[in-house]
Amino acid sequence: MRPADPDDIDARFEALVAQFDEDEIRRMTAAAETDVFPPERRRRPAVLMVIAGLVVLVGLVVVLRPDVLERLGIVRPAAGGEELMISGPVVARPGPVLTPIPDGEEGLFDHGPVPAPSDAPFAGTPAIDYADGEQGLVMPAARALGGLTEQEVGQALQRVRRLLSAAHLDPATVRGGRPEELIRLLHPRQREAFLRHLDDKGPSGTRSWVFSLAPDAAEPVGDIVKVSGETTISERPGGGVEIKTDYLFVHPVSRPGAPLVMTRVVEHHRSEFSAYREDGKLVIWWNTDRSAVFGANCALDDGFVRPRFPGDPQGTRPSGEPVDPYDRVSGVSGKPRCPAALGT
């Protein structure tokens, strides 16, 4: 017969537990742990019935007498909805696992591919698809030409590649330092002339042979310069070969002390080199150098590059219609060093 009052649950629970003395409880516990297949199978149902009864009784206590939770050290959420602390043990569980969205699937916040860090300064421009640094200075295959062997032509092409890299990609030179790497690679006679006119202003200055940011004018962003273009080779009248280069170098730069103010300077550079034998030795000579720098001011004609940042005054630049700095077809012949650009 069920008790008329739920408060009798406490008394019934205590009475049930009191029916077993300590020896009986130990005996039942030992039987449950060690006697897996007891010969007297009738003991096991009795033990299980007692345990099941205890579980059911405890469940009734929790349902009918929720205040028992407080006695066990557990505090329920308050009626007002505020969260209360639990004084019992807390189990740490891993949080939710965020599954990445596979390529090609759209998510709630899918705004297209996010550029890699090295490509971020070039996002939204053709330079995003250009090669990184020296990888863009691709030379044609070497072959015997103009009386030179295949090996000699290969040496000439590699020297031209290193000269271009030293002039436009060398970090020290780009930051406005002394172009030591280029000086070392030049032919001895040409090296002397280059050094003599390195600090000259005007057309005679040789600083314009290299890409050098003016001191305190700008800082390179990252260590990647994007490069695109081509090199061609042909037979030279009188022996040897002529090597012509036509490349775009895209330099991301920021304002000194303000790394978030960024722009790009696009340099369109064309050069011609000769490779021939002189007294039995291979000579590589830098014949001509022409370049146009887009996105820069031309206030001073000292060969240094001074980028023009968003919000800057227009500075000294040529008049006329702006041109596409990424168009190599128009060439650089006859153009001023800092022409107007549609955008870099």
| pLDDT tens sequence across 242-287 | 999 999 999 999 999 998 889 999 999 999 999 999 999 999 999 9
d(CA 77, CA 103): 44
pLDDT range class, residue 18, cuts 50, 70, 90: low
Work out the angle at residue 157's Cα, subtended by the Cα atoms of residues 288 and 250, and round it to the nearest 5 degrees.
Answer: 65
3-state helix/strand/coil string of 129-196: HCEEHHHHCCCCCCCCECCECHHHHHHHHHHHHHHHHHHHCCHHHHCCCCCHHHHHHCCHHHHHHHHH
CA 219 to chain centroid, in Å, comes to 19
Q: Residue 93: how many CA atoms within 13 Å on its side-chain side?
A: 6
Q: Which residues pair with 281 in a beta bridge?
A: 278
What pLDDT does residue 286 have?
A: 97
Q: Chain-wide mean pLDDT for the chain?
A: 75
Condensed to tens digits (0 to 9), the pLDDT of residues 190-218 reads 999 999 999 998 888 999 999 999 989 99
pTM: 0.65
The C-alpha atoms of residue 196 and residue 198 are separated, in whole angstroms, by 6
Contacts of residue 190, defined as CB under 8 A and 6 or more positions apart, other chains included, come to 285, 286
Per-residue confidence (pLDDT) for residue 271, from 0 to 100: 95
> What is the predicted pLDDT for the residue at 132?
95
DSSP state, residue 55: H
> How many C-beta neighbours within 10 Å does residue 169 have?
22
To which H or E segment does residue 80 belong?
Answer: none
Q: Which residues contact 216 (CB under 8 A, 6 or more apart)?
A: 256
- Which pLDDT score, from 0 to 100, does residue 1 have? 46
| Residues facing 270 on adjacent strands | 246, 290
Q: Residue 228 pLDDT > 90, yes or no?
A: yes
**CA dist 178 to 167, 188, 243, 300, 337, Å?**
11, 17, 26, 19, 21
